[in-house]
A and B are shown apart, each in its own frame.
Chain A
Amino acid sequence: MFSEQAAATAQGLLAPPSAEPPTFPRVAVSGYSDCSQPFQLGERSFARQYAHIYAVRLAGMRPGLERRARSRWGNDVVLRRLSELQEGEKCCVVGTLFKSMQLQPSILQEISEEHNLVPQPPLPKYIQPSDELILEDELQRIKLEGAIDVQRLVTGTIVAVYGCEQDNGRFLVEDHCFADLPPPLPWSGPSSDRYVLLASGLGLGSVSGEALLSTQLLVDVVTGQLGAEGEQSCAAHITRVILAGNLLSQNTQSRDTINKAKYLTKKTQAASVEAVKMLDEILLQLCTSVPVDVMPGEFDPTNYTLPQQPLHRCMLPLASAYATLRLVTNPYQASLDGVRFLGTSGQNISDIFKYSSMDDYLEILEWTLLVGHISPTAPDTLGCYPFYKSDPFILTECPHVYFCGNAPHFQSKLLQGKEGQRVLLLTVPDFSATQTACLVNLHDLSCQPITFSSFGADSEDGDMELEH
């Protein structure tokens, strides 16, 4: 992307100083609107039970699913509630899936005294062949068997199943369908090349400092300090930087106060304090040059439950003086230059990864889009705010760019939908591990990874193997 345009003047700076070097004005943001209002929580009350969120989720998605069922199995398909089921009758039922897993961590079991259990260590995946799927609607539940992939699906998905109830009380599934891609948004992207840089997992405050120079190189490329003139002029077309979570490293999460004796920890400072200062300086450098959207992630100092609220700007005093800094929620939805972005910091995808047989982050990302819900496993295994009026994670419109942060590698795919949807699916890799960020071209929804490397104490040939 950059390289072709910049190639002409690549070696231009290998010369004695010339006349006044050019400065390029940054391409102005023509249209920006923040659409994350559903994810912003005002007054929060945790007095409600989580059953309401499932109820509104089902109520919100039922019409769409019924429409989908009719179009798939014919207009005359019988739609039944579970309470109206008759044995042997072929019908379609819309409900919420629940997967009962033996290995699913249960806090009640852990603290139960009669079991005397040692808390289960975290596993990469909690699936087992003995897992079962159960369909629930507003009043009843029924076990499912048949043409439905138990391992792949997760709790909280709204599904329409077609089949019949058997005499053993289970529902034999012949076919099933999901909400499928939401209706498309009109396209009004820019007419010339405009880039958005997406990075996640900066991982500041970690013990190792290898990624620090790469982070500095990233900032330098975006702010136009690095590179020859051609590259700098291309970098001037970067209209926005989105930092998708995990700005702080997992190391800053150590809670010595819990484990160690008080007299040992009294004068120590939380590791996140230093890391946030570093973050502030990096953001200041970026903010003086480009608009930045900062999303919180799993290890960032904000609330744990989804939707995560923006970082408070008192933590970033230097950078928040600039209007170019925007502290946004996770998940984040915004319209940049007519292109609708929707993405998360990756907690939803990694949670589905743990409870499903799907291994590929891009596959899971696509699956959430097809299911019509950003994070079906919330609130079952992923912390979530107890919504009761409406579920903001239901996808009502199809975004143009759908991303998730903190993925193990960079992957991207342009998905075309039946109704004319065109979505760029993007898994933004963890920068502290891969030193890779993503550049998305808003003009044609193409994207390219951008990798940074420096030379380390070990051989330089290792650089190439860094990015798998």
Chain B
Amino acid sequence: MADELYLENIDEFVTDHNRVVTYKWLSYTLGVHVNQAKQMLYDYVERKRKENSGAQLHVTYLVAGNLLQNGHFCHKVAVVREDKLEAMKSKLSTIASVHVYSIQKALLKDSSPLYNTDYDIVKTNLQHCSKFSAIRCAAAVPRTPPDAPQVPEPVQSPQRQRDPDAAINGHRVRAAKPPPQQHKGIMGMFAAKAAARPQDTPKEAKAEAKEAAGVSAANCKPPTKNTIMNNFFGKAAMNKLKANSVPEQPKEEKEVVKPSVAVAESESSPNTVAEKPGKKTESDRIQQKDKKSKTKRVDRSDDEEERDPENVKKKRKRIKQLLSDSSDEEDVPPSPTPEEERVPSPPPEPALKTELEPASTEVSAGGRKRKRKRVLKSRMFIDEEEGCMVTEKVYESESCTDSEDEFPKTKAPAPQEQAMLPTKREPKEERKNPKKGAAPASRANKQVSIMGFCQKK
């Protein structure tokens, strides 16, 4: 009988799982209206007490009503333990409502378990937090896409699940896109990449391809910020940056949209643009090397060297020059620290695990490789048009073998453990990794950079 089912459920939660069962938690778990949940709790308490008067059951109640205080009436809403219920009721001049707030086995010393239970259950149900409430608001609809800023943002929609009322699937993806996009605009590459990377595998290739195209055509603000950051930190620090995904995009796309820009694109259109499976596995390898989403120019240049002949590299260099010029004047973006605080949501976790398995084999087989590094060098040439000599600072690829390869090897076992660890530990481990990568890198390059001081930590 459906009536008895809820009693059994509550019994199971309270006695077997030793949970604090609040009305809100019960309402979300059983999918019932909050008032029904309150009544269910009351019913359970009554029956249990009738059967077994010595039952180990503690109840908290919610009391609300008018209270005369300092000469005026104030409406008081209080959560009280059962033993104080009558005292509170007698203090109130008019009682507006009384109902069961929660049931638990143990006597609660303070109300923080109640708060935590409610907080957790609401957190996991954020997209429909008013579903079981007693009040419906007709005005509370998500903003229509034209209202949101017109910036394409492919990622973060699984994290930001909005109101299920936006029934149409495409509509929902749209609605989810713009708000994360604002995030991107402000936090620049960090926000975009951190979210993008976890969203990689769950996304469909088609959706991603569309969005990738959109993103490539989109504003250059985050990408230019990225270049600035790279400029600022210098080569040594760049090694510290973790690659989100390898530039899998075809190099044509990269050339069209300046290479440093590709940082943002590469992650926004990661392995889902599954044109080259070889690239994908490589991206996995690199991706696995550095958990979080920071671009690693080394890797990009690495791929390019492997794939592109010399002439293409030269073409890229020129474009890069122009970009580095324009980007010199802009401000330095904030330090990468906010990145590490972000905790990947549960969906990325299994995705990450699946990526790690195939990738780990690759790494062990990879061995030492010559890496191409981006080095800031002064280049002088004569500008025929204006008849002058131009000295420019450009990033040039320079090959060097460095002990950075220790990094992927240590990463290989580590990420696998990491995937099993609870999410909270991840930021800490990831933080350790860039330091590991930075230290050998800086040693190898023997180039003093302003960030070298900080990296020693």
Residue B167 interfacial (CB < 8 Å): no
Residue B209 interfacial (CB < 8 Å): no
Known contacts A11-B98, A20-B33, A266-B335; is-contact A216 B135 (Cβ 8 Å): no
> Among the interface residues A25, A29, A217, A450, which one has the most CB atoms of the partner chain B within 10 A?
A217
A positions within 8 Å CB-CB of B:
1-4, 6-7, 9-11, 13-18, 20-26, 28-29, 209, 212-213, 216-217, 220-221, 223-232, 234-236, 262-263, 266-269, 273, 281, 284-285, 287-291, 312-314, 317-318, 320-324, 410, 436, 439, 448-457, 460, 463-464, 467-468
| Beta-carbon contacts under 8 Å, B68-125 to A | 69-70, 72-81, 84, 87, 91-92, 94-100, 108-112, 114-115, 118-119, 122-123
Measured in the bound complex, the distance between the Cα atoms of B130 and A437 in whole Å is 22
Measured in the bound complex, the distance between the Cα atoms of B178 and A313 in whole Å is 11
Contacting pair B180 A317 (CB below 8 A): yes
Candidates A3, A281, A317, A454; contact of B75 at CB < 8 Å: A3
Q: Which residues of A contact B34 (CB under 8 A)?
A: 224-225
Task: Give the Cβ gap from B332 to chain A, nearest Cβ, in Å.
Answer: 15
Contacting pair A17 B39 (CB below 8 A): yes
Residue B341 interfacial (CB < 8 Å): yes
Measured in the bound complex, the distance between the Cα atoms of B118 and A220 in whole Å is 11
> Among the interface residues A11, A226, A450, which one has the most CB atoms of the partner chain B within 10 A?
A226
Measured in the bound complex, the distance between the Cα atoms of B137 and A225 in whole Å is 13
Task: Give the Cβ gap from A27 to chain B, nearest Cβ, in Å.
Answer: 9
Contacting pair B84 A209 (CB below 8 A): no
> Among the interface residues A22, A213, A236, A455, which one has the most CB atoms of the partner chain B within 10 A?
A455
Measured in the bound complex, the distance between the Cα atoms of B187 and A216 in whole Å is 29
Residue B179 interfacial (CB < 8 Å): yes
Known: A15-B39, A23-B133. 8 other contacts (CB 8 A): A13-B39, A17-B36, A223-B129, A226-B77, A289-B130, A314-B187, A450-B76, A452-B76
Measured in the bound complex, the distance between the Cα atoms of B72 and A436 in whole Å is 14
Question: Nearest B residue to A17 by beta-carbon distance?
Answer: B39
Contacting pair B35 A3 (CB below 8 A): no
Q: Which 10 A-B pairs have the closest CB atoms?
A: A224-B135, A228-B97, A314-B182, A13-B99, A454-B111, A6-B96, A21-B35, A3-B66, A224-B134, A26-B137
Residue B338 interfacial (CB < 8 Å): yes
Task: Give the Cβ gap from B285 to chain A, nearest Cβ, in Å.
Answer: 27
> Among the interface residues A14, A324, A463, A464, which one has the most CB atoms of the partner chain B within 10 A?
A14
Measured in the bound complex, the distance between the Cα atoms of B293 and A343 in whole Å is 43
Measured in the bound complex, the distance between the Cα atoms of B138 and A100 in whole Å is 55
Task: Give the Cβ gap from A448 to chain B, nearest Cβ, in Å.
Answer: 6
Candidates B42, B65, B126; contact of A3 at CB < 8 Å: B65
Question: Nearest B residue to A463 by beta-carbon distance?
Answer: B78
Residue B333 interfacial (CB < 8 Å): no
Question: Nearest A residue to B97 by beta-carbon distance?
Answer: A228
Residue B38 interfacial (CB < 8 Å): yes
Q: Which residues of B contact A14 (CB under 8 A)?
A: 42, 98-100
Q: Which residues of B contact A234 (CB under 8 A)?
A: 96
Measured in the bound complex, the distance between the Cα atoms of B69 and A212 in whole Å is 23
Contacting pair A467 B454 (CB below 8 A): no
Task: Give the Cβ gap from A80 to chain B, nearest Cβ, in Å.
Answer: 48
Q: Which residues of A contact B126 (CB under 8 A)?
A: 281, 284, 318
Q: B246-274 interface mask toward A, CB cutoff 8 Å, 1 = contact, 0 = none?
A: 00000000000000000000000000000
Question: Nearest B residue to A29 by beta-carbon distance?
Answer: B139
Measured in the bound complex, the distance between the Cα atoms of B280 and A401 in whole Å is 62
Q: Which residues of A contact B110 (CB under 8 A)?
A: 454-457
Q: Which residues of A contact B100 (CB under 8 A)?
A: 13-14
Measured in the bound complex, the distance between the Cα atoms of B329 and A365 in whole Å is 48
